[in-house]
Structure 1
Amino acid sequence: MGSKRNARAETKLVEQAEASSDSELDAEELYLSSDDDADAAVGPAPEDGSTSDDADDESEEGSEQDSEEEGGSLDDELDRAVVDYIADRGGTDDPAETSGRPPGEPGEAEVAETRPVDPGSDSSEDERPNRNTIGNVPLQWYKDEEHIGYDKEGSKLIKRERRDRLDALLARNDSGKEWRTVYDEYNDEEIVLSKEEMQLIQRIRAGQFPHIEVNPYEPEVDWFTRETEIHPLSSAPEPKRRFIPSKWEEKKVVKLVRALRKGWIKREKKDESEEPPAYLLWQDDGMVAEKTATGLSYIPAPKPKLPTHEESYNPPKEYLPTEEERAAYELQEEEDRPQFLPQAFDSLRKVPMYSNFIQERFERCLDLYLCPRTRRKRFDIDPESLVPKLPKPRDLQPFPSALMLRFRGHKGKVLSISVDPTGQWLASGSSDGSLKLWEVRTARCMHTWALGGPVHCTAWCPNNALRILAAVVDKKVVLLPSGTGTEEVEAAAVQALKLTPAASEGDSKLAHWQARDDGQGVDIVHQHLVKSVTWHGRGDYFASVAPTGNTQAVLVHQLSKQATQNPFRKNRGRVVRVAFHPAKPFFFVATQNHVRIYNLAKQALAKKLIAGGGITSLAVHPTGDHVIVGSEDKRLAWYDLDLSAKPYKALRYHTYALRSVAYHRSYPLFASSSDDGSVHVFHGMVYQDLLTNPLIVPVKILRGHERVDHEGVLDCAFHPTQPWIFTAGADGDVCLFCN
């Protein structure tokens, strides 16, 4: 008996599932095709999810009574059979599963429940308010909560229990209202659509008016001419005034005739053909086109200048000329004199006639009709946009800003200074013929050499293993052991300065190497006065400059071989300074007007930099790609060797000629010293990106020297490791500025 019931239940369930899966009818079609009994009562769905159809309830109760009479346990067996069948089929016949939504939830094509609306208003605000009052917020916020929001009283709206797939399947197949039930996710309730609402949806989908009482094709009714009148509105006869002339018009005509006779009204004359007037034959010869951009060929004359304070009849006293200025005015030529001298009068009636009035008006007339006029376009440019935006100096620290120490001991002008590679010792040469060695941190003079002449230049050997000091005195380049290193370093320096027989016995036409009289160091005697000396980065080669030497102006010396050579047969211009490239075999030669860069490996000219004139100093950037040049015309020029042969930046901040320029070895700093007694420190950042131009910002002006005989700061040098700078002045002092 149980097997038969299971088979019967399974057969019934299969038929329902196939009917539900094969049916493609919409909700409204299924509803419209149902019986009148099923559509009789439509209302909101009960909260427990069951339908409210009385007929269905009666049929279900009747079936339950029948089943109880048959066996009393038919429902239990039927439920078990349905569960077994669903488990065997894997739930594939569940429409909720095939549609991809959770069981018990409505489909995509859902229609909101219509609520009672005020017939006197077409606003949606009259609809029944929502049960949920959370507002227009995402419902995902309440996904993991047990409630979906709050009602008007602030109470939580607890989520309904969702039906499982089996209950959803049975409710969909057994109930006729499930197909017209939609789920309101916002209020968490199910709404059953009525028959009128289903018809409304069907008409909208068919492209018709939603309401059936609206007829868009009503017959046209002519409200005004649909009925023909038989009698006229007024059958009065025409008045007499319609057939006689108007007396008022007669008065107007008489008035116009009288005005024409007396000439009060003039008739328009016809245009008579007249000969064209005379015109200037060469009026527009200077114009490119017949009309200018404004549409007119006439250019107004420039207005005369307005009078100033000095043209007043009683100007301030500072505008009145002195006796010396009057005498200078009388000595000038008439063409160079000012037009008048300011005078003071007590009152305006005492002012005499201006003697040059007629002459000035005559010259003004000459300018008006003889001088050509042109229009100049004026560009409205914001002045602030022309000023480059530079960082503030306080953001570019560290840089030297305060005077820390003052080295005193020279009796004459300090012409040159040099710092050893360790930064512990400082050498200074003076015009009194002394070369002093100072300790940087204590400003103590450790040793003094009397060289017998002005020391124009000093330079430390970059090789720390030698500690050799070079100085320029008259026609000699003196190499001295500094005595600042260990015993091994001092022994190496003495051995390097020990003359070889070939060097001492040789008779070179360029320079002669000889030992000093005191036995310490070597003298390299030139044929001309030497002004400067510079070392190569490795410390073996050094070059000397003798500006008056013509073909022997630049000589290169080698310390290891104690030999001298002339790299140039001819020098084009007076050589002022030379410098070695820090990494490449390039040699910089600065004349008064140009800076030539020679490739020593190829023995050819690599580049020629154009300067303004009067070059006095030269410095090469540690990367070797940039050069700064100081000149007598008060300019500091920065050259980018990869950019152009002309200066990248020309800085003119000094008031007198520049004497020295220097780069810092490790910090982005460079400086220039001048005869005005000041040292200007700049921030010069060089980027590795070749597309980014160097950043040059003036950061500090240092003043610590007094001008003597129109000379100020003669030399400057940076500390090799610290942001410090040493300056040598004509007052005989050496100053140390620190950050």
Structure 2
Amino acid sequence: MYTFPKIHFQTTNFDGAVTSVAFCPESKWTIIAVTLATGKLIVSNSFHGDRQLIASTTKYLAELREQVSQDESLQWKHEKDGCISVDLGYVARQVVWHHKGDYFATFAGSESPKLIYIHQLSRCKSQRPFSRLKGIVTALSFHPRQPLFFVATQRHVRIYDLAKCQLKKKIITGSQWVSCMLVDTYGDNLFVGGHDKTFSWIDLQLSSKPWKCVRHHTAAVRAVAQHRRYPLIATVSDDATAIVYYARISNDPLKENEFVPVRRLRSHSPQKNGLAILAAIFHPTQAWLITAGSDGSIALFT
């Protein structure tokens, strides 16, 4: 395990606490989306990476033109520093990108469907996909290959067909209060973490119920990460540990998936507010896990 020294490669100051950050998956841009406790959404150049990509991203953002959104109270605005801001009117809990890097979504933990927006960067437009919604929303995700949208509430995950504007499937998660979810690279499997310490693996091709449901943590599961190249899954929790699993998804319908806990990792310190590790991500090519904690530190496990 390595703990990064206090070296800042790039620092950006905002007018409020950051509630969520997500990098645009489109490799030709160096764009990040940030949500703030002030109720704002910021789309900005990260100024990291290849110089040509940074320059082209700056030009792309500057050339975008605001349009009137479906909800006229939600307007996009170019700021003096080159970023684009949107006043959501609520504190967004999460921002998630579609894999093509043009659409992204935000939501607040509420029963109101008015607090879920899907934004389109190229047109600078925002729209509400739902007029009605059951339950308090806890997480969102796009399907990586189909026009499907995953909406997690306390106990269920509903999959909506955005092209047909209808509910396609309702998933039973096995958790009493969903805290996070992750859709795999092909969109065939769903991984769900819960405040009740549960971690569920739902094979969407087999059933709408969990194929595997475990409680290896002693506190709330805060995030789930999957490696792009290796059969590895990781969960992080308020018990200040990260658990790495060997998770091989079977391509043979006659063979079961493989799921084995490999290692429990420790680095972060629990805080008085009960929080510990809040986020995790695998390195895209190396078998390395990066975790971020409420203690203000980032750890790299190799």
Whether TM exceeds 0.5 here: the answer is yes
Q: Distance in 1 between matches of 2:106 and 2:50?
A: 29
Q: Distance in 2 between matches of 1:698 and 1:507?
A: 46
The structure 2 residue matched to 1:514, chosen from 77, 81, 99, is: 77
Q: Distance in 1 between matches of 2:172 and 2:159?
A: 11
1:707 aligns with 2:270: yes
1:407 aligns with 2:4: yes
1:579 aligns with 2:109: no
Q: Distance in 1 between matches of 2:156 and 2:70?
A: 34
Contact 1:541/1:556 (<8 A) preserved: yes
Contact 2:226/2:232 (<8 A) preserved: yes
Query: Match for residue 483 of structure 1?
Result: 47
Query: Match for residue 552 of structure 1?
Result: 114
SS at 1:701's partner residue? Answer: strand
In structure 2, give the amino acid aligned to 1:547: G
Q: Distance in 2 between matches of 1:481 and 1:574?
A: 32
Tell me by how many angstroms 1:497 deviates. Answer: 1.8
1:591-670 matched pairs, under 5 angstroms? 591-611=153-173, 612-670=175-233
Contact 1:408/1:734 (<8 A) preserved: no
Deviations 1:645-701 (A, max 9, x none): 111101101111111111111211111111010000001101211222210000010
Tell me by how many angstroms 1:538 deviates. Answer: 0.8
Tell me by how many angstroms 1:704 deviates. Answer: 0.5
Tell me by how many angstroms 1:501 deviates. Answer: 4.9
In structure 1, give the amino acid aligned to 2:40: K
Tell me by how many angstroms 1:604 deviates. Answer: 1.6
Q: Distance in 1 between matches of 2:270 and 2:21?
A: 22
Q: Distance in 1 between matches of 2:65 and 2:105?
A: 23
Contact 1:609/1:646 (<8 A) preserved: yes
In structure 2, give the amino acid aligned to 1:489: L
Query: Match for residue 26 of structure 2?
Result: 463
Contact 1:727/1:736 (<8 A) preserved: yes
Deviations 1:407-433 (A, max 9, x none): 354xxxxxxxxxxxxxxxxxxxxxxxx
Query: Match for residue 283 of structure 2?
Result: 719
Deviations 1:240-284 (A, max 9, x none): xxxxxxxxxxxxxxxxxxxxxxxxxxxxxxxxxxxxxxxxxxxxx
SS at 2:57's partner residue? Answer: helix
Deviations 1:424-458 (A, max 9, x none): xxxxxxxxxxxxxxxxxxxx421111112221211
Contact 1:528/1:549 (<8 A) preserved: no
Deviations 1:35-94 (A, max 9, x none): xxxxxxxxxxxxxxxxxxxxxxxxxxxxxxxxxxxxxxxxxxxxxxxxxxxxxxxxxxxx
Deviations 1:289-320 (A, max 9, x none): xxxxxxxxxxxxxxxxxxxxxxxxxxxxxxxx
In structure 2, give the amino acid aligned to 1:615: V
In proportion to residue count, which structure has more helix? 1
Q: Distance in 1 between matches of 2:92 and 2:172?
A: 25
Query: Match for residue 241 of structure 1?
Result: none
The structure 1 residue matched to 2:95, chosen from 530, 533, 548, is: 533
Query: Match for residue 298 of structure 2?
Result: 734
Contact 2:69/2:125 (<8 A) preserved: no
1:434-473 matched pairs, under 5 angstroms? 444-473=7-36
In structure 2, give the amino acid aligned to 1:730: S
Q: Distance in 2 between matches of 1:501 and 1:601?
A: 25
Contact 1:510/1:552 (<8 A) preserved: no
In structure 2, give the amino acid aligned to 1:407: F
Contact 1:469/1:480 (<8 A) preserved: yes
SS at 2:252's partner residue? Answer: coil
Contact 1:496/1:559 (<8 A) preserved: no
Q: Distance in 2 between matches of 1:667 and 1:720?
A: 10
In structure 1, give the amino acid aligned to 2:286: Q
Q: Distance in 1 between matches of 2:100 and 2:182?
A: 17
Q: Which runs of 5+ in 1 are unaligned?
A: 1-402, 410-443
The alignment yields a C-alpha RMSD, in angstroms, of: 1.7
Pair 676,563 (structure 1): closer, same or farther in 2 beyond 3 Å: same
Number of residue pairs matched? 299
SS at 1:666's partner residue? Answer: coil
Identical-pair percentage:
36
In structure 2, give the amino acid aligned to 1:637: S
Contact 2:30/2:47 (<8 A) preserved: yes
Pair 506,656 (structure 1): closer, same or farther in 2 beyond 3 Å: closer
Tell me by how many angstroms 1:500 deviates. Answer: 4.6
Pair 606,720 (structure 1): closer, same or farther in 2 beyond 3 Å: same
Q: Distance in 2 between matches of 1:513 and 1:617?
A: 28
Pair 691,711 (structure 1): closer, same or farther in 2 beyond 3 Å: same
Q: Distance in 2 between matches of 1:522 and 1:453?
A: 16
SS at 2:49's partner residue? Answer: coil
Q: Distance in 2 between matches of 1:510 and 1:672?
A: 38
Query: Match for residue 26 of structure 1?
Result: none
Q: Distance in 1 between matches of 2:236 and 2:64?
A: 41
Tell me by how many angstroms 1:507 deviates. Answer: 8.9
- Which protein has the larger Cα radius of gyration, Structure 1 or Structure 2? 1
SS at 1:494's partner residue? Answer: helix
Tell me by how many angstroms 1:731 deviates. Answer: 1.2
Query: Match for residue 58 of structure 2?
Result: 494
Contact 1:582/1:623 (<8 A) preserved: yes
1:384-403 matched pairs, under 5 angstroms? 403=1
Contact 2:78/2:85 (<8 A) preserved: yes
Q: Distance in 1 between matches of 2:182 and 2:66?
A: 35
Q: Distance in 2 between matches of 1:407 and 1:577?
A: 29
Tell me by how many angstroms 1:510 deviates. Answer: 5.5
Q: Distance in 1 between matches of 2:53 and 2:212?
A: 43
SS at 1:491's partner residue? Answer: helix
Pair 480,549 (structure 1): closer, same or farther in 2 beyond 3 Å: farther
TM-score (norm 1): 0.39
Q: Distance in 2 between matches of 1:554 and 1:507?
A: 13
Query: Match for residue 674 of structure 1?
Result: 237
Q: Distance in 2 between matches of 1:510 and 1:531?
A: 20
In structure 1, give the amino acid aligned to 2:264: I
In structure 2, give the amino acid aligned to 1:406: T
Tell me by how many angstroms 1:623 deviates. Answer: 1.8
In structure 2, give the amino acid aligned to 1:462: P
Deviations 1:569-589 (A, max 9, x none): 112111111111111111111
TM-score (norm 2): 0.94
Q: Distance in 2 between matches of 1:688 and 1:506?
A: 43
Tell me by how many angstroms 1:549 deviates. Answer: 6.9
In structure 1, give the amino acid aligned to 2:134: R
In structure 1, give the amino acid aligned to 2:291: T
Pair 581,477 (structure 1): closer, same or farther in 2 beyond 3 Å: same
